[in-house]
Amino acid sequence: MKFTNEISELVYQDYRCIEPKDYQERIRFFEHNRSDINQLPYEMRLEISIEYTVALFEVGEYYQYLKYVDKLLEITIEDSVFSIDGDDIYQELLFRKGCALHNVVDFYAADHIFSELIKIDKTNKTYQQVFHQNKVSQLRYEGQKFRSLTIILLMITGVMIGVQLLIIHPFFEHLVSGFEWCRNIIFGFALFSIIYQELSIRWISKRRIAQLTKKK
């Protein structure tokens, strides 16, 4: 058993020699030495597991990150693991979970995570920024049908320009004024719709942030 522990501790020393930003090597090392890592003392094992999970996020393995992060979040709460190397590990993991959810287009789950983070730290501008970005994406997703209608209207105006040049001007000169008036109304409505939707989305997002950061 002592020999096994010595091997495991050597593995830990080798792991610590890996550059902090070399996420691919951290992942490779963990996956090739999983059994030895499992023999390490609890604190060392937890430290490596957290860094491995963070590395998955940093290389874009979002689904893999989401597979492991919930268990680590439970452990940090149950065992009162508040910080590692001065970082609030719970918030770090939760923040990355929200970003991972956003990146896999689960905007609703990400919205909940970022809302909770803002409640934890109401002055954190990064939390507010990612909440805003996710909320904008979420509301745009919800407004896809409306946006599709707007695109159709713009396409109609394009077709109308072609009709005007090829048919109305050469053969129906007396209809030009009314045709242009109709085309401009459709184009103006489409343009107004785009601007209105974007402004509404951003206003809703900012209002929600104000609600979350409001002091009780």
Task: Identify the burial level of 31 via C-beta atoms within 10 angstroms of its C-beta, where 0-12 means exposed, 13-18 middle and 19 or more buried.
Answer: exposed
What is the reported pTM? 0.81
pLDDT tens, residue by residue, 138-161:
998 888 777 788 888 888 888 877
Please write down the HEC assignment for all residues of 147-187.
HHHHHHHHHHHHHHHHHHHHHHHHHCHHHHHHHHHHHHHHH
Distance between CA atoms of residues 52 and 61, nearest Å:
11
Q: Which one, of 91, 86, 89, 133, lies nearest residue 111 by Cα?
A: 133
Segment 72-125, tens digit of pLDDT: 999 888 877 666 666 788 999 999 999 999 999 999 999 999 999 999 999 999
The full set of domain ranges for the chain reads 2-104, 105-216
